[in-house]
Chain A
Amino acid sequence: MPILASNIFSLVRSALDAEGSEYYTDQQDLIPAINSGQSFLIYLINAQLGAKKFAEEYYRELIKSRVWQSSIYSRVDVTLPATSPLEKVWSILSITVEPELNIPFVAANVIGGLSVERPDLLYVKDGYACGRLTMEEWVENAGNPFMEGYTAEPNTLNKDYAYLTHVSYANTSPAIPFASPNEIEIRPPVPSSPVVIAFVKLPTPVQLASDNLDFPESMTDLLVKATLREIAFKQGDRTTISSLSTQDMMAMLKNTL
């Protein structure tokens, strides 16, 4: 259940010593503050994602599963999603190949053989999970039959898939036509095939008080404190709001992250 921005605003206003004065407005103060607070939280959670300590259930509003069609080079560009509203990929949780979909997969004809998101398809079940490799592992594992991403025997009965995180294969000389600037590669190759990617999406910035924040309700107070902390910047140093909200926020983050 997402949090209503107006709910945060009313809680923030109650903490500010300016009731009924219209001193703090939504557009000039609260919305920029809540977006800054959200960005600050994103920065903090980034470290959690990198350390693989991400609690999926805690950020359930941000987790999405979408189907892409890979490029002819078995690569996927997740930076250009077709879904509306735009879902920017923050961090990839899993990549699944050879999935069972809601309808039989028919490869779409894409100019240049690029990857494309397929909003017409839904992931149902099964498939093979891809392990994430570093650049060094990507090269070394190609010849190791016991590691993910092994390709020396293309007809192996026990494929162990792997993926290499975002790399730009685009170049200017020689120019590769239609190359995307940011692609994930999957091995053993699955060219022009369905690829299911479960990812954490970047929270959508708030534009109106009626918008929702993509965080669970349990994070309401954390967001209030983060917003208050941003507003306190305007109030100068040594304000009670700044120190208290920062102190509270850090205490909550310590338990959350």
Chain B
Amino acid sequence: MAGQNTYRYVVYDVLTTMQSAFPDADINANHILYWARTVENLIRKRHLNKLESGAYLSQFANVPVLKDGIRHYIELPSAIYDLAFEKGIKYITHQRSTSIAFTHTLFQPTSQSESFRLYYSPYEVPSPSNPYFYRVNSRIYFLGVENIKLPTVEMGLYTAIDPRSSQVNLDDTINLNEDQVAQLRIELLNMGRYMLMIPSERDMEGADTRTEGSPGVSRSTITSNNRNQQPQEEQIETTPE
């Protein structure tokens, strides 16, 4: 929740505008709501690529740590944006002792293929005080914490929003900063305009029903480059006997 604007305002603003321009368009609030949610994700990710602010950060405390053999891992509690260098995961921390700050031990991002190198550097070797994580689909694996008890971790994630219109109430606030709502509106109108402005002559129409004077579906002929080289058909001259 970044602003105060609700989906009701944006959805019905766009719907009313479209209905006034295209009265026969079979389009409803659920449709626009779905568009709004998908475009929201786009704007949010674009914003995060430029500016990593805390506005879109979601905090998950006490995410349970699971074990796969000796490897510790967690399941991502929510879908996140796939940003460069795992920046969709803003931070993962674990609390080594109740006496220290919860942000004390941060996990560093790495990848499975690059992690072996860390073990050869005394300054980078994974350990409980210098742990790492890497992502495999929805799982986040940890390095350096294999030999300690790690029941939970805390995470800060740039979460993607669920675009399904069935899962959001029209009176929920839009997950954008207020200044981005105007951009959302423009994107929605563009989407609607693109869909509804498909020229009528592109409509599926049987060739036999094409009326005189209507442009109809343009049918550009495909001409072979070799056509001119092909021998001309001989004209058969018929002479009356």
Contact = CB atoms under 8 A, between A and B. Distances in A.
A147 interface: yes
A-B CB proximity, top 6 nearest: A156-B166, A146-B31, A153-B166, A157-B169, A146-B30, A158-B30
Contact-residue size bin, chain A (C-beta under 8 Å from the other chain): 10 to 19
A160 interface: yes
Contact of A146 (B28, B167, B168, B169): B28
A158 B31 contact: no
Interface string A117-160: 00000000000000000000000000001111010010111101
5 contacts: A150-B30, A156-B165, A158-B29, A158-B30, A160-B29
A153 to B, nearest CB: 5
Interface in B153-198: 164-170
B168 A145 contact: no
Nearest to A131: B28
B53 to A, nearest CB: 29
Given A145-B34, A146-B34, A160 B28 contact: yes
What DSSP secondary structure best describes chain B's contact surface? helix
Contacts of A153: 164, 166
Nearest to A154: B166
Contact-residue size bin, chain B (C-beta under 8 Å from the other chain): 10 to 19
A155 B28 CA distance: 19
A155 B167 CA distance: 9
A147 B30 CA distance: 8
Contacts of A156: 165-167
Contacts of A157: 166-169
Interface in B17-74: 28-31, 33-34
Contacts of B170: 158
A157 B162 CA distance: 13
A157 B29 CA distance: 12
A148 B31 CA distance: 11
Contacts of B28: 146-148, 160
B162 to A, nearest CB: 11
A145 B164 CA distance: 9
A157 B33 CA distance: 12
Contacts of A146: 28, 30-31, 34, 165
A150 B33 CA distance: 15
Nearest to B171: A157
Contacts of A147: 28
